[in-house]
Amino acid sequence: MANNKIKNRAELLIYILAILVIIGFINYMASRWFKRIDLTEGKEYSVSNSTKKVLKNLDDIINVKVYFSKNLPSNLHKTVTDVKDILNEYQAFAGKNLKITWVDPAADTAEKQLARSYGIPELQLQTFEKDKQQLITGYLGIAVLYEDKKEALPVVQNLQNLEYDLTMAIMKVSRKSVPKVGIVKVDSMLDLPPQIQRQMQQQNPDNVPTEQKFQSIYTQLRNNYEVITIDLSNAAPIDSTIKTLIVPGTATLTERKLFEIDQFFMKGGNLIVLADAIAVSFQYGINAIPVESQLFDMLEKYGVKVEKSLVLDASCGQVEIPQQIELPGMGVVNMNHPVPYPYFTRLNPENFTKSNPAVSPLSDVVFPWVSPLSFAVDSGKTGIETTVLARSSEKSWLASGNIDLNPQQKWAIPSENTMKAYNLAVFLKGKFNSHFNSIPADNAASDDTLSKIKLSASSDRPITGSTDNGRLVVIGDADFVAGQNATQQNVAMLMNITDWFSLDDNLISIRTRAIKNRTINSDMLNGSSAKPGIIRVINITLMPVIVIIIGLIIFMRRREVVPSTASAPSSSAPAAKQEDN
């Protein structure tokens, strides 16, 4: 009997140990192969494959310090939970090369100072306790540390961008060097004091300094690159350590400046050209002015022809125009009224090439006053591979010559059988020949002795005649990333192409995964479509109808159940009496 008890206890102990081993093995496997079921359209609650690739390729320990206070208001508890979930997923894919530490600086003065040194501020947060509104202090930031490098997310607010910000911070601290991106100075303004520049802009508002005009691009690029404004007026070679050169316009590019761009390209640099064949001026009303530049000849030598016309598209954006409206009791008031504007070509997901990582995730990009592009080479036959990155919709047409840009005009829309899609952004790759056989003179140079000495010295430079692995992107519009046109989607397109050229495609899919086009109908030719109205009626009526139907079903079932339960005691009473007898 005693032997049986010992045997049973031994078997029980073995079973317990086996279960613990299985649980431990499952936990270990789960930590190595993290899996989450995410049914959202953009997989917004799961890290992307690009992030997984970055985390798995870490070759040293990255420290992530999460400065979150414990006494955060209740409305931020979900933020804390979501941050924990995404960091647990990061930990699962990075393994031992990612160390995550949660810190509450409120309890430690030294940690407060560290958080401040990382750029994480102490916040004042509103909370409601016992029916009273109170202000409390707290922290809601993340620091990413590696050796002597540090990157901070000062305040975690937008969870849609958290993965991009966090992955980019990890990439920035772990990379060996900062890549350089150059932006060619395309304005004609000298290096003058700001007050004089403002006066010159008032006289000619179309002439704005390059860095000011493309401020959104500079701001975004500086998050990940060393950005250099390239002033070609000194006739000096472009820094060869720059990986990608952006040319945001055409108007002020002399032949000598084009030579320096050409030589940068021939020596292996990547080139992005935003080519405006038609410039839009607002100095005296709104005017379309053809641009004369030798850049178009150089691009045609490379294989891209920029047409001197503008694309109009039925799939278009809107502009607001002033309109007088009479309101009861207020009289006539001026209000802005949105109207479709075909010169603002809207690109939806189907307008981008799905095989290219830089543009395949894009949506809702708007090109204002864009010129069409065509290829001047046969793909593959000349050693140059051509790809269309973006095109207008099939309901597009062209305007050339004397172009009327007035948004209040009555649009003369051609028949649909004459419309077609036009190329708006193209990519060329392969063997390119230089546009120049000799070094051109600097037309802008003065006649002083020093300038002549510089020109004489530069004429001895060797010319690089060709490149075997050139990469060129041409977009028929520069205004789409300038001023108020630089929307999040537009900037994302140029950023994606720059990342694709200068780094890799790791950040591309993360940046644009939360940018979705939710427009029901952006086609001005289908303005009378009933689709938006049908969707609106369904949204308003369907859910109440479903709730009413469910309520009626529950009510009817209760009516069936109540009588049966009420009659139950009377039916069982005789049986009880029989048992007593």
pLDDT at 290 over 50: yes
Q: Could you please report the per-residue DSSP string of 202-240?
A: HH-TT---HHHHTHHHHHHHTTTSEEEEE-GGG--PPPT
pLDDT bin (cut points 50, 70, 90) of residue 533 is: low
304 strand-pairing partners = 375
Tell me the mean pLDDT in the region 421-438: 95
Chain centroid to Cα 303, Å, comes to: 29
Q: Could you please report the per-residue DSSP string of 7-60?
A: HHHHHHHHHHHHHHHHHHHHHHHHHHS------STT-TTS--HHHHHHHHT--S
Helix (H) or strand (E) segment spanning residue 342: strand 331-347
pLDDT at 196 over 50: no
pLDDT bin (cut points 50, 70, 90) of residue 150 is: very high
More confident of the two residues 304 and 208: 304
Which pLDDT score, from 0 to 100, does residue 233 have?
Answer: 86
Report angle CA 344, 349, 351 to the nearest 5 degrees. 60
Tell me the mean pLDDT in the region 140-163: 89
pTM over 0.95: no
Query: Residue 70 corresponds to which tokens in the numbers above?
Result: 């414990």
Provide, rounded to the nearest whole percent, the portion of the chain with pLDDT above 70.
78
Which pLDDT score, from 0 to 100, does residue 561 have?
Answer: 67
Which pLDDT score, from 0 to 100, does residue 524 have?
Answer: 57
Contact residues for 94 (Cβ-Cβ < 8 A; gap 6+): 55, 56, 58, 62
- pLDDT digits over 370-396, tens only? 999 999 987 666 789 999 999 999 999
Side by side, the strands of the sheet bearing 316-327 are 316-327, 331-347, 365-368
More confident of the two residues 571 and 466: 466
Give the domain 49-174 fold: Glutaredoxin (3.40.30)
Which pLDDT score, from 0 to 100, does residue 525 have?
Answer: 58
* Cα distance between residue 181 and residue 574, in whole Å: 95
Which pLDDT score, from 0 to 100, does residue 42 have?
Answer: 55
What's the burial of 156, exposed, middle or buried (CB within 10 Å: 0-12/13-18/19+)? buried
Please tell me what DSSP assigns to residue 199: H
Which pLDDT score, from 0 to 100, does residue 197 have?
Answer: 47
Please tell me what DSSP assigns to residue 315: B
Which pLDDT score, from 0 to 100, does residue 579 have?
Answer: 47
Which position has the token pair 């009378």? 528
What's the burial of 516, exposed, middle or buried (CB within 10 Å: 0-12/13-18/19+)? middle
Chain centroid to Cα 32, Å, comes to: 30
pLDDT at 205 over 60: no
pLDDT at 164 over 60: yes
pLDDT bin (cut points 50, 70, 90) of residue 512 is: low
Tell me the mean pLDDT in the region 105-114: 88
Which pLDDT score, from 0 to 100, does residue 125 have?
Answer: 82
Tell me the mean pLDDT in the region 110-117: 92
Position 221, amino acid:
L
More confident of the two residues 133 and 166: 166
